[in-house]
Structure 1
Amino acid sequence: MTAAIEIDRMLPGQTALIVAIDRLGLDPQTARRLHELGFDDGVDVEVIHRAPFGGDPLAVRVGNMVVALRRSMAALIEVELNGEGTGP
């Protein structure tokens, strides 16, 4: 079993499985929007790109979409990394 980390700590090219979302750390509208975009427990995600100078925002693939997430929001989504990949 792999230790859970937050999406904002992932590197480009890494894939992971969502294990928990801290919905209490989000306002209800934002929590609902994340759900509508496909961010739910058990969903695979991949970090595609991190912006330079602090990495905000992150481009994250969820399903067939690429979504830009602020680091503060990505820090509320816990994942378990798939495999040993550390990026391309």
Structure 2
Amino acid sequence: MRHGEDLKARGSVLPLAFLSVGEEAEIVEMRSGRGMVQRLSEMGFTPSAKVRVLASNPQGPILVGVRDARIALGRGVAMKIFVSSREEERGKVEGAK
């Protein structure tokens, strides 16, 4: 099991880089310097924004959909954007019924 899969199984907040192609999540926080956080915010990466991984190269960039844009992020940047998987949230809601 990959480390990212282990984090997803526990229902934790995890880096955007750990999501698989097609997965959706909600941004929880960004752990970077003020300049990087500001730049990401200007591109639509803000807390509670929904993101979807559109393509991912294991050693390279990740293409994500955020708001109405498609943006390629370096893997290092994607490791600094922390998300909560929307699928996990749906499971919690369905389990409460």
User: Which TM-score tier does this pair reach, normalised by the shorter chain?
Assistant: 0.7 to 0.9
* Equivalent position of 1:40 in the other structure: 46
Q: Normalized against structure 1, the TM-score is what?
A: 0.81
* Equivalent position of 1:69 in the other structure: 73
Matches for 1:48-87 after TM superposition, within 5 Å: 48-51=54-57, 54=59, 56-83=60-87
Superposition CA RMSD, Å: 1.7
Q: Answer with 1 or 2: which has the greater Rg.
A: 2
CA apart distance, 1:66: 0.5
In proportion to residue count, which structure has more helix?
Answer: 2
Percent identity over the alignment is 27
Structure 1 gaps of 5+ residues are none
Q: Normalized against structure 2, the TM-score is what?
A: 0.74
The runs of at least 4 aligned residues of structure 1 exceeding 2 Å deviation read: none
State the structure with bigger RCO (CA 8 A, min sep 6), 1 or 2.
Answer: 1
